[in-house]
Amino acid sequence: MNMSAADARLAENAFNPFDKEEQLRSEAATWDTSRPEEARDGDIPVIDLSAFFTTGSTDALNAAARQLRAAAESIGFFSITGHQVSPRVIDDTFSMVRRFHALPKTVKEALRMDRPEWPIGGAGYLPVGNRKLPARPTANLNEIFIIKRDHEIEFADNQWPDPDALPGFREQVETYAEALEALGKRLLPVFASALDMPAHFFDEGFEASQYRLRMTHYPPVSSEDTQGFGISPHVDTSFCTILAQDQPGLTIFDERRGEWIKVPVLENAFIVNTGELLRQWTNDRFISVKHFANNNTGSTSRYSIPFFFNANTRYRMECVPSCHGPDNPAKYPAISYAESQAIAQGE
């Protein structure tokens, strides 16, 4: 069988996750993050999902999809309200995350990520000063605890603190993770419709979806550390990231303004950003937003809980049909999450 010109081009540009990771690191090193600006009205699009989630109507779906399309194509970043995740679940999860990070260091270190005796990589605890997720030359001024799930990894396969040390922690985290996975799947028709595809286009890829839940503590920093980053500038690997945060600290790059802007906290809302895998899946139609976080607030800790949502690790993401054609050929070969830069990043 003769190979088409498009197929030959993709074969020639075969995806190498380690080259991709090096590309992302090199690009991040060139970003000037020194002068972030305050957000203006309209900088952060807000999508109210209540009508679609309540009625399921085509009109409501199309209205939400138009807003998502505009945000994903121009900034890669938006807030969602009307998401139907209980405020009580969110508040109780933040309470548990604060209690976890207040545990003695020895208890947390016993759950250290990537320790040789634990079979699941990329899950567990990392202390302040870690240089992983993202891996960058400067240390991340945060501590994290991560759990992950996919078609092979269950909740029980993750590391968990002793229930006697932190009663109810695992149960609350599992409740939150399940609520966020359900929210992510309810968003899929909006993403699909935003790309002019049938509402169920993404469903097959997200059977036994892969996700990581990161529970992050940004402790107060000393005056000499104020030029560091709570988390270094990067783009997410994910299809999308759904973030809850208890106070400001996140900064994104607004492609429309050409400036870094500080993201305010909107009550009872999640922040959603599109990631690198969705950018490639859509042939660069949707943006992968550049961002970083800090907690240069003196005496107050900051906590955030990002949920990194991805297709099944084995599902190969071929370019969305509406995102390529004779005058806009597919730029990337089909890859799965398990073949992506997630490998090089140790996710």
Whether residue 106 is contained in a domain is answered as yes
pLDDT at 14 over 70: yes
- Compute the distance between CA of residue 56 and CA of residue 139 in angstroms, rounded to an integer: 45
Q: How many CA atoms lie within 13 A of 119 on its CB side?
A: 5
pLDDT tens per residue, range 191-249: 999 999 999 999 999 999 999 999 999 998 765 555 578 888 999 999 999 999 999 99
Taking residue 125's Cβ as centre, other Cβ atoms within 10 Å add up to 24
Does residue 254 contact residue 260 with C-beta atoms inside 8 Å?
yes
Q: How far is CA 18 from CA 24, 25, 93, in A?
A: 10, 11, 35
Question: Would you give the end-to-end CA distance of the chain in angstroms?
Answer: 38
Say which CATH number the domain at 279 has.
2.60.120.330
DSSP 179: H
Work out how many domains the chain is built from and give that number.
1
Instruction: Give pLDDT, residue 9.
Output: 52
Most confident range (mean pLDDT) of 20-24, 118-122, 145-149 is 145-149
Percent over 90 (pLDDT), the chain = 79
Instruction: Give pLDDT, residue 74.
Output: 95
- List the beta bridge partners of residue 145: 125, 215
- Compute the distance between CA of residue 56 and CA of residue 87 in angstroms, rounded to an integer: 22
Distance of CA 87 to the CA centre of its chain: 20
pLDDT tens per residue, range 148-166: 999 999 999 999 999 999 9
pLDDT at 78 over 60: yes
pLDDT average, residue stretch 76-89: 97
Whether residue 199 is contained in a domain is answered as yes
Determine if residue 59 is left, alpha or beta; phi over 0 gives left, psi from -120 to 50 gives alpha, anything else beta.
Answer: alpha
Whether residue 137 is contained in a domain is answered as yes
Q: How far is CA 53 from CA 48, 56, 65, 114, 239, in A?
A: 10, 6, 13, 39, 21
Tell me the DSSP string of 185-254. HHHHHHHHHHTTS-TTTTTGGGTT-EEEEEEEEE----GGGTTSBSEEEE---SSEEEEEESS--EEEEE
pLDDT band at 129 (very low <50, low <70, confident <90, very high): confident
Whether residue 114 is contained in a domain is answered as yes
Structural domain of 272: 45-345
- Compute the distance between CA of residue 29 and CA of residue 32 in angstroms, rounded to an integer: 8
The amino acid at residue 71 is: A
* Token duo for residue 144: 């994290």
